[in-house]
Structure 1
């Protein structure tokens, strides 16, 4: 049997380490894509144990599940730009919406007015990443309009936010300057947001000036580091992809997971997995099985860790992602939802 085994004690330790690092800023745990494949509800419960009071996701299903799990114990931010029919559902679910477009602001305000309750929104300034957000030259008129809609009772501006590229310190410094100026303009327009948030994992960890009131951190909470970033003390992978040995052959040991399950076929010959005898090379990835270099006494039913924290010789998700030419989240996000998620404590 193949399973993604999630160590909830490790997850809580990661969240605790991250929260302590970014304090006094509050931690928003990102739970997009079913909490990076770990399962929204168990992740929310573990984070609540560590007194986390914010969650967020770009996708409404994950965000709505987080709000349902957390109830009044936490606020949940959803930053997708939603079609009209989805806005009301997101508001009904108790979500706070990211708004980085003048047309979307009007759409949210119109729908909220029809519901008779102000929509909580976080206004987004484009600080140079161009991932959406209002251009700086349009920001004064945008915030003035938001202030008017707030006075009318259609919206409540509860946050200001943006993304940064994290491509270089110099570029990020320029982005932060734009963000700080946007905050001053918003105050001049009469807005009084609860929080300002700019940084995600890497900037929040390494650059205190970027933390603001709130930081949005996904990868580090799950033990996935940034590419080339080994300086994350107290954080380790919470998830291990574990597969049974299903056959013993002349070419190696066959395990019951393949590229149809989400394992990169390009990893063949590039990574090592964990076995009862320690690290062994992943030799081949087929549709539903993979082949691993054998070890003395290998038997059907033995467990092989394809990736995890490294305790049996396996590579971490980040190292696996780098070997495949991508980021550390990708080995987790590619996994089939049919693989059982098993939560252990």
Structure 2
């Protein structure tokens, strides 16, 4: 399953007794970590970067705030968006905290198939006091676990992916000169120095953590993109649903749905599509809100959206007639698995 919050995290700390750790070194270190992941075909070119610099004594005093920086094949090439943001940070003098974050598309393997997620890993670096560089690696998938985050054993998926992550962690540790500190156990899994502890013996902190928490996490991400309103349909149902697939440029972004009992409607983002799934989903939710304001029932709203003018920028409905799923949970499973 692909998640919107990290399944696990590992950190390394680099200190210096002489000289100052500058933003350029942080960015170069981030790319060196990226290369270790790329060598194992865990990440692929693309993704987005963030550079942020704030006053250490007053975090509200932000001097550089560059987000959504598109990373090309050479992210630090002269004149690139990331290089320009790093240069801005490099020009500052003072007691600052520097953040550099790379959100990386990557590939995971299942028997006979290779799948892509637009944010499989994130590489996050922070400079504190000019002499401490903290490097963190986050992953947003459970394919490194013997059991997925819905409590199902996955021996073939684990065998195909866990050794690649373990090799990457070893490579990064050699690069940075120390072993990683695994993050704390979270709602999904318990990281270890080589990957993750085996939930078959250790147990999960929560049963079906993906089913329990991911729906709420994704709803919060969608809601943060649209104004608050009470003019919405119920977005929870226990029964079966009808849905349309939303695609843009041949990629599935999510599914707009209505319950068969005509009591609820909503949008389920395909998490592997990354921010695009949530940005498009916000527009589809606003469409449902408009239908609600017109007095349409959920099923009528689904038909109304299908008959409306095409808006390629938010994705298009690809089926002529709606599909059916036995439950909203099954549709969410589809949206989070691939």
- Higher percent of residues as strand: 2
- Higher percent of residues as helix: 1
Task: Determine if the TM-score, normalized by the shorter chain, exceeds 0.5.
Answer: no
TM-score, normalised to structure 1, is 0.28
TM-score, normalised to structure 2, is 0.28
